[in-house]
Amino acid sequence: MEAAGKLINGVAFARQLRSEIRQEAENLHAVHGILPTLAVVMVGNDPASAVYVRNKIRATEQAGMRSVSHHLPAITSEAELLDLIATLNADETVHGILVQLPLPAQIDRDAVLDAISPAKDVDGFHIVNAGLLAVGRHDGFIPCTPMGCMMLLHSVLPELAGLHAVVVGCSNIVGRPMARLLQQAGCTVTVTHLQTRDVAAETRRADIVVVAAGHPGLVRGDWIKPGAVVIDVGINRAETPQGARIVGDVAFDEVAPHAAAITPVPGGVGPMTIACLLQNTLRAAQGLAG
Ligand code: NAD
């Protein structure tokens, strides 16, 4: 198995991708008069969500696209949010709709995600897009984080077919779609989760380990086969003697010496998630261009 380098630089990869997207967005605007537009909906005042939303809006505008922001109060009812989604679905100047998660308890997340038009579902969470991915079709939207992980994997492993991949975590947002994409790339995939009896026994056999558990430092040095490629999706806030820091789900200092290539946190998967959101928004707008 070949690896291009030890550290997989998600910042540099995402910068290059964003610059290509910007060129295509400008071209779409110049040639077809279509300005790719992303509507970002946030309900409530979760501080982490506010940071994510701000970053997504800024990245959208830096990519030569338009963003429309809707910030609703925490007491918003499900019916009010569904009304807004219906308005955005019908608005021909809006190509992508993103509802920032989590939503307040009075709102059924699945009802909201399934109300977004599948053609504008740039997060790829709609049941139709999840279904298209599940049956191996490529005409839906793929969730941004697993899409970014696949790009980073391909940057160090041009051929994935035949490799054994272990995914730690099976959420609908990361783990599950990740496993589908790896399988479609020809990997033999094992999915582990909280009920898995011995996660380390699974990861030790893997050529590729993708970790999205939300558990800081879960994956230790002796969980990794020498020469494996490790993708750390985790974003966790941890208190350290140096103050609060963002850490991944992988104990980086222990794992890096064994791995052929590894993503850091921050600076690995995170920047790719936003770049892939821009890519999906561009695709949504291009769909309109025919
Ligand atoms: P989630 O809580 O929805 O799912 C976590 C999954 O991990 C579950 O399937 C659970 O069974 C499994 N799990 C939890 N602890 C485990 C353990 N000890 N051993 C094995 N499996 C375990 O979380 P999520 O939304 O999938 O996010 C996971 C992590 O990825 C979080 O840290 C989140 O912040 C991060 N994340 C990062 C990005 C990014 O852009 N980099 C995007 C989405 C999520």
Binding residues for NADP(+): 169-171, 235
For residue 231, CA distances in Å to 195, 212, 247, 257, 268 come to: 21, 9, 13, 14, 8
Sign of CA dihedral 117, 124, 102, 56: negative
Q: What single letter denotes the amino acid at residue 14?
A: A
Domains and CATH numbers, the chain: 32-120 (3.40.50.10860), 143-270 (3.40.50.720)
Ligand 1: list residues with CB < 6 Å.
Answer: 145, 168-171, 173-175, 192-194, 196, 199, 212-215, 218, 233-236, 269-270, 273
Active site residues: 56, 100, 123
Among 53, 151, 190, 233, residue to substitute to test ligand 1 (most atoms within 8 Å of Cβ)? 233
Look at residue 241 in the predicted model and tell me its pLDDT: 85
Task: Output the residue whose Cα is nearest ligand 1's atom 16.
Answer: 194
| CA-closest candidate to residue 144, choices 98, 90, 83, 203 | 98
3 state DSSP class of 69:
strand
Look at residue 3 in the predicted model and tell me its pLDDT: 39
Look at residue 169 in the predicted model and tell me its pLDDT: 98
For residue 55, how far is its CA from the centre of ligand 1 (angstroms)? 21
For residue 15, how far is its CA from the centre of ligand 1 (angstroms)? 25
* 245: β partners: 238
158, with CB counted inside 10 A (0-12, 13-18, 19+), is exposed
Atom of ligand 1 nearest to the CA of 265: 41
Beta carbons within 8 Å of 92's beta carbon, 6+ residues apart: 288
Look at residue 1 in the predicted model and tell me its pLDDT: 40
Look at residue 289 in the predicted model and tell me its pLDDT: 59
Give the residue ranges of the chain where pLDDT is below 70.
1-5, 288-290
For residue 169, how far is its CA from the centre of ligand 1 (angstroms)? 6
Alpha carbons 69 and 129: distance in angstroms, whole number:
24
Prediction pTM value: 0.96
